[in-house]
A and B are shown apart, each in its own frame.
Chain A
Amino acid sequence: MEKKITVADVAAALDLKVLSGEKGLDRMVTGGYVSDLLSDVMGHADAGQLWMTLQTHKNVMAIASLKDLAAILLVNGNQPEEDTARQSDLEGIPILGSSLEAFEITGKVYEHLKKNAIIQR
Chain B
Amino acid sequence: MQLFSADLHVHTVLSPCGDLDMSPANVVEEAAGKRIDILGITDHNSTRHCQLIKKLAAEKGIFVIGGAEVTTREEAHCLTFFENNDQLEAFQQYLEEHLPDIPNDPRYFGHQVVVDEQGIILEEIRKLLISALDQSIEQVRDKVHRLGGIFIPAHIDRPSYSLISQLGFVPPDIRADAYELSRHTSVEDMVRKYPYLEGQTFVGGSDAHMPGQIGTRRTLMRMEKVSFQEVKKALRGEGGRSVKIEPVPARK
Contact = CB atoms under 8 A, between A and B. Distances in A.
B249 interface: no
B195 interface: no
Nearest to B76: A57
Contact of A62 (B74, B159, B168): B168
B179 to A, nearest CB: 15
Nearest to B167: A59
Contact of A38 (B136, B137, B159, B167): B167
A36 to B, nearest CB: 8
B166 A81 contact: no
B137 A57 contact: yes
Interface in B28-63: none
Interface string A39-71: 101100000000000011111001100000000
A39 B165 contact: yes
A37 interface: yes
A99 to B, nearest CB: 18
Given A37-B165, A63-B168, A81 B136 contact: yes
Nearest to A37: B165
Interface residues of A, number: 13
Given A55-B74, A57-B74, A57-B137, A38 B166 contact: yes
Contacts of B166: 37-39, 55
A95 B171 CA distance: 20
A63 B166 CA distance: 12
Interface in B51-84: 74
Interface in B214-235: none
Interface of B: 74, 136-137, 159, 164-169, 171
Interface of A: 37-39, 41-42, 55-59, 62-63, 81
22 contacts: A37-B165, A37-B166, A38-B165, A38-B166, A38-B169, A39-B165, A39-B166, A39-B167, A39-B168, A41-B168, A42-B168, A42-B169, A55-B167, A56-B136, A57-B74, A57-B137, A57-B167, A59-B167, A59-B168, A59-B169, A59-B171, A81-B136
Lowest 8 CB-CB distances: which A-B pairs, in order? A38-B168, A59-B167, A42-B168, A39-B165, A38-B167, A39-B168, A63-B168, A59-B168
